Amino acid sequence: MSTDPSAQPLLHATAGAATGSPGPSGRDAGASIWRVAVRRLRRNPGAILGGVIVLVFVLVALLAPVLAAYGPEALPGRAEIRPTYIPGPSSEYPLGLDRYGGDLLSKLIWGARASLLIGVLSTLLGLLGGALLGLVAGAFGGWVDSATMRLVDLMLSVPSLLLAVSIAAVIGQSSTAVIIAIGVVQVPIFARLLRGTMLAQRGQDYVLAARSLGLSRRTVTMSHVLPNSLGPVIVQATLMLATAVIEAAALSFLGLGGGSPTTPEWGRMLTAAQNELEVAARLALLPGACIAVTALGFTLFGEALREALDPKTRKR
Amino acid sequence: MTTVADPLLSIRDLEVTFTTEEGPTTAVRGARFDVMAGETVAVVGESGSGKSTTAMAVIGLLAQNGRVSGGQVLVDGHDVATLGGAGMARMRGRVIGMVPQDPMSNLNPVARVGDQIVEALEDNGVARGGAARRRAVELLEEAGLPDAARRAGQYPHEFSGGMRQRALIAMGLSCRPRLLIADEPTSALDVTVQRTILDRLEALTTDLGTAVLLITHDLGLAAERAAKIVVMYRGEVVEVGPAAQLLTDPQHEYTRRLLAAAPSLASRRIQLARRLGATSAVGDDLLAMSAETPTDEKAAVDARAGEASTEHDDSPIVEVKDVSKVFSLRGSSLFSRGQRFTAVDGVSFQIPRGKTVAIVGESGSGKSTVARMMLDLIPPTSGEITFNGRAVGGTDRAAEVRFRRQVQPIFQDPYASLDPLYTIHRTIEEPLRAHRFGTAAERRDRVHALMADVALPLDLLGRYPAELSGGQRQRVAIARALALNPDLVVCDEAVSALDVIVQSQILHLLADLQHRLGLSYLFISHDLAVVRQIADHVCVMERGRIVEQGTVDDVFDRPQQEYTRVLLDAIPGRDLQLGLEAG
């Protein structure tokens, strides 16, 4: 190799055109696909709406002790509840009271915290478990792949809610059980997704090039195949968060969430409100709206993220 | 009947604008040319030159975000823009027909081929029912599809690429349009198929008196098929003229570069120059460069080669002996034995040290499988490959690492062969890091030297592959391949995905690096014209076998096999006058 390459008459008359097509705009220079994705998200109204909803939800959940006027289990309006009458919105209780005399607004705020905790923890559980299975299947292939995928098929063949109910039944009624149940249900979804994208990436030329460089199989898998397969998995995780919030509500609705009737949790509040639909419909409508809006927020954000990360639409 | 003076299609200062994330982009600027009735006009340019966009504007099928923002498209003197959606739809098929580029994706996969033509006939009110069905069969026959009656009842997946393109030609001409737009009609097909399809298209349109607007990137092909050529560059028409005049006396600088770069023309020039004993085409023959190597550089190359391999001698760097590869395909049912498919069948050849051996063949000939076996990415079923005297493909990890340092690939698609998440610096540094080359500072110096070798500016180092052009990416791939000072580089269709001018730059770069670094190349290509320029030896592969091999001169001047002759004939521009005979 020459020590002073610039001295070589390497540039042909036309080599100046090596920079051929017009370069990308200056802002793009050196931006990773994640930074490009963030900029694309900012231009997408759906993404902004979803992002704002998610942000508000997370802030409310984190700041619940500050925002809520009363504690999670407090029943400040206990004395005002009558069997046929539940006080509506007032200056003291902006959204009125619930059946047990709790402040509905405070309960909803604390409920966000419970939902976020369940959603994030269960999705994390599903993501880690699924990614591990998918990684094993995608990296080793052969009979390991077949065995792992049959296990995953087995998990998929049980209806998700039934599986969650069974797990909750075995572990007992507690929020931990709900988290584990929802997480386990997500495992096969993440496993299949990661394995699929890894298999697709493994056939790519850059992976062959990496193998030709003499990199070990582990290095090729961990530093080329896996990072390039994570995009869809991360998108799926944001979408699964929405599902997890809904499933947590469903499990609480079925009475599997543990805790007492006064524990603030959106799904449980919906269940409890069944009996008071005629007396105070807002007790069902407001938690229901919270679940729907949160799920919508995560879904919008996830879909936008999917679009922003799609390599087919990536700027050249 | 239009009078002689009135053009069938007249494009007047056409401007097409696309609305993109980064704001409006003008794809075509002030394009201006005419197509007379019955005339064949070729629009030539590289990707992004606006040639396809112009065609799409003519037929009113611009993408959602595109619109004609200025100028006029006149068909028969009528402005297309005033026609509106319904009028435009009426015009398509009957006045302007279209043969699209990719025959694989342009037929409806769930409808019979015949029915798709019947649909076109009925929609345009040409024929209905039984008459339309009979007509569809006639049209397919006309397009040169054998056994058309039976084929009309089949689905697209039962057709080969060439057959699909014939069906699309039948469809494009079904309503006897007066102008046919053929957008790269054969670039997705094998070279031999390409030629017969184009012959058929030419015969048909001549018989019917149809004018043809042929969109192509290959100047040689354009000159062979069209009377008039329109050269487009970055959205503008830079030159319009009769094909013969354009070839011999190009006016615009870009046309001159295109003429110099087009592989079909370059290989023709080499052939002509050899026949005439002229030296004027030496610039096209990249091998001539190594003959002119200054002696001090040669010494440096020899010294380097000596340090790289202990057995520096005249023995070939690679010997491939009777190598076969059999793939077992998945069986149709759960318990049936899978079928076996012989991709490579008893192939033998040698690569002399410091030379280029090309393997030429059409898709499915097994040439890429040979490349993958050479790279030790898949093991041969039988036979042996030796590299520097050692057998390739052991279980010894240390031997594998040693082999991988010395043999490096360059793949076809520079979009796919670089990890999209790695910066250019990290991409080129990776092999150095993996083989524990020096300190971080030494590695950085080496990366900078490699960038200079492939003539890339250093400010690209922080960028990602997605931000580079195709040619730049291929240079990065070459730099990465050279990082470990390999002895052999396997180029698997390394220039096929690039525009002609970029292609010629990369070929020059490869030839230059070869004579500076003493590299040996295994060059896999479907394009004989490219092979003519770069290779010393040629192996022609057909259905897994090498049917002919020899020096590039022998194979091109005295082909022994019929198949080789067909391949050679398929290089466009066979009968063109290139202005060499006079000189």
Q: How far apart are CA A311 and CA B421, in angstroms?
A: 11
DSSP summary character for residue A300: H
Domains of chain A (ranges; CATH) run 52-72+108-313 (1.10.3720.10)
Higher per-residue confidence, A98 vs B4: A98
Q: What is the pLDDT of residue B488?
A: 94
Query: With b meaning 16 or more CB within 10 Å and e meaning fewer, what string describes B27-36?
Result: bbbebebbbb
Q: Which of A43-47, B349-353, B509-513 has the lowest mean pLDDT?
A: A43-47
| Best residue of B505, B506, B508, B510 to probe chain A, by most A CBs closer than 10 Å | B505
Task: Find the length of chain B.
Answer: 583
Classify residue A247 by burial, with Cβ atoms within 10 Å: 0-12, 13-18, 19+: buried
Residue B289 has pLDDT above 50, yes or no: no
Q: Give the residue from B17, B53, B51, B13 showing the smallest Cα distance to B31.
A: B13
Residue B180 pLDDT: 93
pLDDT tens, position by position, B91-103: 888 889 998 887 7
For the stretch B420-440, pLDDT in tens is 888 899 999 999 988 888 888
The kind and range of the H/E element at B43 are strand B40-44
Tokens of residue B368, six digits: 């890429």
**B21–A205: do the CB atoms touch at under 8 Å?**
no
Q: Which domains does chain B have, with CATH numbers?
A: 9-252 (3.40.50.300), 290-325+340-569 (3.40.50.300)
Q: Is the pLDDT of residue B263 over 80?
A: no
Give the three-class secondary structure for A219. helix
Res B351 pLDDT > 70: yes
CB B185 within 8 A of CB B201: yes
pLDDT of residue B576: 67
Of the CA atoms within 13 Å of residue B243, those in its CB half-sphere come to: 22
Distance from CA of B117 to the nearest CA of A (A): 32
Residue B376 three-state SS? coil
Query: Both tokens of residue B239?
Result: 């030159």
What pLDDT shows up at residue B90?
82
Q: What is the pLDDT of residue A12?
A: 35
| DSSP output for B288-311 | HHHHT--HHHHHHHHHHHHHH-SS
- Per residue in B442-461, pLDDT (tens digit) is 999 999 999 998 889 998 89
pLDDT of residue B231: 93
- Computed on alpha carbons and rounded to an integer, the radius of gyration of chain B in Å comes to 26
Quote the pLDDT of residue B280. Answer: 47
Contacts of A244 (CB under 8 A, 6+ apart): A118, A119, A122, A123, A126, A182, A186
Q: How far apart are CA B460 and CA B425, in angstroms?
A: 8
Q: Which two tokens stand for residue A263?
A: 């524990």
What distance in Å separates residue B83's CA from the closest CA in chain A?
33
Helix (H, G, I), strand (E, B) or coil at B87: helix
Q: Looking at beta carbons, which residues of chain B come within 8 Å of A312?
A: none
Q: Determine the pLDDT at residue B333.
A: 54
- Interhelix angle A45-62/A282-309, rounded to 10 degrees, is 130
**Which whole number is the average pLDDT over B43-67?**
86
pLDDT in tens, B466-479: 778 888 899 999 99
Q: Is residue B238 within 8 angstroms of chain A, CB to CB? A: no
Average the pLDDT over each of A90-99, B43-52, B137-146 and give the range with the smallest value.
A90-99
Closest CA to B458 of A316, A8, A5: A5
Low-confidence ranges of chain A (pLDDT < 70): 1-33, 258-259, 310-316
- CA–CA distance, B16 with B66 (Å, rounded to integer): 7
* Phi/psi of residue B285, nearest 5 degrees: -90, 100
- Report DSSP letters for A27-61, one per residue: GGTT--HHHHHHHHHHH-HHHHHHHHHHHHHHHHH
Least confident of A107-116, A273-282, B62-71, B572-581: B572-581
Question: Is residue B327's pLDDT more than 80?
Answer: yes
CA distance A278 to chain B (A): 51
Sole residue written with tokens 């033998």: B348
Partner A, chain B 440-459, Cβ-Cβ below 8 Å: 449, 452-453, 455-457
- The rounded distance, in Å, linking the Cα atoms of B354 and B447 is 24
Closest by Cα among B547, B499, B197 to B360: B547
Two tokens, residue A113: 């915290």
Q: Collect all residues of chain B within an 8 Å Cβ-Cβ radius of residue A40.
A: 21
B569 Cβ neighbours under 8 A, 6+ residues apart: B195
B30 in helix, strand or coil?
strand
Quick check: A109 and A298 in contact, CB under 8 A? Answer: no
